[in-house]
Amino acid sequence: MIEIVDAKFITSAPTVKQAPPSEEQNEVVFMARSNVGKSSLLNALTNHKGLAKVSSTPGKTKLINYFDVTFIDRDTSEKSIAKFVDLPGFGYAKVSKSMKSDWEKNLTDYISQRENIKIFIHLIDSRHPHLDIDVDVGNFLINNATADQFIIQIFTKIDKLNQKEQNALRREFPNALMVSSSKKRGIHKIVDLIYKTLNENVNED
């Protein structure tokens, strides 16, 4: 069984240039449209209620936030450390073309300058699975992620859907994960996938 046993906030940076040194830790980048539940998921994954601040104002967070996270494999007692990166929300539902362009430039810069990114986690509100902005971000990641980077698509707030809607979503997106941070549904599966993906990459290097 894989668990996150420690998580701590490191720093915030307004731009990639002001981000902390890449160092040797693998980075897991979380990205989502504003108000999708990114902060709540980070808190649930780390079992640290106040780690990421949950804002009631969509799009309020404009900084890149960095957290050091310690995993443990309970079967082997082996520990490993990774860096969780919380990117600013990329707009509330609809954004202007200039905002979209700025966000894409910032993400392109981030991808090109941070050599230790191993996983991109793209969160989507399960109640709105087909928004153009999420389709654009998904395509952007597919076109810009390198061969050794892994993309995980996660649908949040799954508890807001009835069983029929959940089943339909799973059929349409069979490779995606479903999560409810408030109900703690799907949390262990995400932690397990992150850990195994990071360690597979380490073993291949």
Span 87-111, pLDDT tens digits: 887 754 445 566 666 666 767 777 7
CA torsion sign for 110, 133, 90, 4 is negative
- Distance, in Å, from the CA atom of 62 to the CA atom of 90, rounded to the nearest integer, reads 9
Give residue 18's pLDDT.
83
Number of H helices, E strands in the chain: 5, 7
**pLDDT at residue 198 above 60?**
yes
The three state secondary structure string of 138-166 is: HHHHHHHCCCCCEEEEEEECHHHCCHHHH
pLDDT computed for residue 104 by the predictor: 67
Do 42 and 30 meet the contact criterion of CB atoms below 8 Å apart?
A: yes
Helix (H) or strand (E) run with residue 189 in it: helix 187-204
pLDDT in tens, 43-91: 999 998 888 875 544 544 578 899 999 999 999 999 999 999 998 877 5
Alpha-carbon gap, residue 47 to 21, rounded angstroms? 26
Which one is predicted more confidently, 200 or 85? Answer: 85
* 93-99, Cβ contacts within 8 angstroms, sequence gap of 24 or more: 93/33, 93/131, 93/133, 94/133, 95/133
Q: Please, which pLDDT band fits residue 35 given cuts at 50, 70 and 90?
A: confident
At the top level of CATH, which class does the domain 2-204 belong to? alpha beta
Predicted confidence (pLDDT) at residue 3 exceeds the cutoff of 70: yes
Of the two residues 103 and 192, the one the predictor is more confident about is 192
Instruction: Give the mean pLDDT of 166-174.
Output: 97
- The larger pLDDT score, comparing residue 7 to residue 60, is at 7
pLDDT of residue 136: 87
What H or E segment, with its residue span, contains residue 20?
Answer: none
d(CA 172, CA 20): 39
Domain ranges of the chain: 2-204
Confidence of residue 20 (pLDDT cuts 50, 70, 90): confident
pLDDT score of 50: 82
The predicted structure's pLDDT at residue 109: 75
In 3-state terms, what secondary structure has residue 47? coil
Q: Please report, for residues 16, 48, 56, 121, the alpha-carbon distance to residue 116 in angstroms, rounded to integers and kept in the order given.
A: 14, 24, 32, 15
